[in-house]
A and B are shown apart, each in its own frame.
Chain A
Amino acid sequence: MADKDLNEGLRDLESGPRTSETAGEGPRGEAADAASHPTVAAMRAKFGDAVRHHTVVAGDEHVVYIAPERVRDILGWLKDDPAQDYAFLMDVTAVDYGGGRPLEVVYQMWSLTHKRQLRLKATLPLSALEIDSAVPLYNSANWLEREVYDLFGIRFRGHPDLRRIMMPENYAEGHPLRKDFPLRGRFSRAEQTRRAMEMELEDYYIPTELATAGMRATGEHASADAAGPSTPGGMRRPNDPDNWALGTEGGAEGGASSPEGVE
Chain B
Amino acid sequence: MGLSGRELPTLPAGGGHASFFTTRLDALINWSRLNSLWPMPFGTACCAIEMMAAAASKYDTARFGMERQAFSPRQADVLICAGRVPYKMAPVLRRIWDQMPQPKWCVSMGACASSGGVFDVYSMVQGIDTIIPVDVYVPGCPPRPEGLIYGLLMIQEKIRGESITRADFHRAEDPARTGRPNLSPEVIEEVTVPFGNSTRQNRVSGMVPSHALLRPRDRKP
Q: Which residues of A contact B (CB under 8 A)?
A: 3, 6-7, 10, 167-168, 173, 176, 181-186, 188-197, 199
Which residue of A182, A183, A190 is within 8 Å of B185 (Cβ)?
A190
B189 and A188: CB pair below 8 A?
Answer: yes
Interface of B is mostly: loop
Q: For A191, what are the chain B residues with a Cβ–Cβ distance below 8 Å? A: 185
B51 contacts partner chain A, Cβ-Cβ < 8 Å: no
Q: For B180, what are the chain A residues with a Cβ–Cβ distance below 8 Å? A: 197
A197 and B181: CB pair below 8 A?
Answer: yes
Q: How far is the CA of A194 from the CA of B181 in the complex (A)?
A: 7
B122 contacts partner chain A, Cβ-Cβ < 8 Å: yes
Question: Chain B nearest CB: distance from A183 CB in Å?
Answer: 6
Which residue of A182, A183, A186, A193 is within 8 Å of B181 (Cβ)?
A193
B16 contacts partner chain A, Cβ-Cβ < 8 Å: no
Q: How far is the CA of A194 from the CA of B188 in the complex (A)?
A: 10
B90 and A196: CB pair below 8 A?
Answer: yes
Q: How far is the CA of A185 from the CA of B87 in the complex (A)?
A: 12
Which residue of A3, A183, A197 is within 8 Å of B122 (Cβ)?
A183
Q: How far is the CA of A187 from the CA of B121 in the complex (A)?
A: 12
B181 and A3: CB pair below 8 A?
Answer: no
Q: How far is the CA of A186 from the CA of B123 in the complex (A)?
A: 11
The closest CB in chain A to the CB of B89 belongs to A196
Q: Which residues of B contact A (CB under 8 A)?
A: 87-88, 90-91, 94, 120-123, 125-126, 130-131, 179-181, 185-186, 188-190, 192-194
A168 and B88: CB pair below 8 A?
Answer: yes
Q: How far is the CA of A211 from the CA of B181 in the complex (A)?
A: 29
B88 and A196: CB pair below 8 A?
Answer: yes
Q: Name the 8 nearest CB pairs between A and B, nearest first.
A: A185-B122, A190-B185, A196-B87, A189-B192, A190-B188, A196-B90, A168-B88, A193-B181
Q: How far is the CA of A196 from the CA of B91 in the complex (A)?
A: 7
A6 and B193: CB pair below 8 A?
Answer: yes
Q: For B122, what are the chain A residues with a Cβ–Cβ distance below 8 Å? A: 173, 176, 181-186, 192
Which residue of B87, B185, B189, B190 is within 8 Å of A168 (Cβ)?
B87
Which residue of B94, B130, B131, B194 is within 8 Å of A10 (Cβ)?
B194
Q: For B131, what are the chain A residues with a Cβ–Cβ distance below 8 Å? A: 193, 197
B189 and A167: CB pair below 8 A?
Answer: no
- Tally inter-chain residue pairs, CB-CB below 8 A: 65
A193 and B130: CB pair below 8 A?
Answer: yes
Q: How far is the CA of A191 from the CA of B194 in the complex (A)?
A: 16
Question: Chain B nearest CB: distance from A205 CB in Å?
Answer: 13
The closest CB in chain A to the CB of B116 belongs to A189
The closest CB in chain B to the CB of A182 belongs to B122
Q: How far is the CA of A89 from the CA of B104 in the complex (A)?
A: 50
B94 and A3: CB pair below 8 A?
Answer: no
Question: Chain A nearest CB: distance from B118 CB in Å?
Answer: 12
Q: How far is the CA of A47 from the CA of B193 in the complex (A)?
A: 54
Q: For A185, what are the chain B residues with a Cβ–Cβ distance below 8 Å? A: 121-123
B91 and A194: CB pair below 8 A?
Answer: no
Given A197-B94, A197-B179, A3-B87 contact (CB < 8 Å):
no
Q: For B185, what are the chain A residues with a Cβ–Cβ distance below 8 Å? A: 188, 190-191, 193-194
Q: How far is the CA of A140 from the CA of B192 in the complex (A)?
A: 39
B194 and A6: CB pair below 8 A?
Answer: yes
A-B contact pairs, 23 of them (CB 8 A): A3-B190, A7-B193, A10-B194, A168-B88, A173-B122, A176-B122, A182-B122, A183-B120, A183-B122, A184-B120, A184-B121, A186-B122, A189-B189, A189-B192, A191-B185, A192-B87, A193-B185, A194-B185, A195-B87, A196-B87, A196-B90, A197-B94, A197-B131
Q: For B186, what are the chain A residues with a Cβ–Cβ distance below 8 Å? A: 190
Q: For B194, what are the chain A residues with a Cβ–Cβ distance below 8 Å? A: 6, 10
Given A167-B123, A190-B188, A197-B179, A3-B88 contact (CB < 8 Å):
no
Q: How far is the CA of A255 from the CA of B186 in the complex (A)?
A: 14
Question: Chain A nearest CB: distance from B3 CB in Å?
Answer: 26
Q: How far is the CA of A3 from the CA of B120 in the complex (A)?
A: 16
Q: How far is the CA of A191 from the CA of B181 in the complex (A)?
A: 11
Q: How far is the CA of A106 from the CA of B125 in the complex (A)?
A: 31
- A6, A168, A173, A184, most chain B CB atoms within 10 A: A184
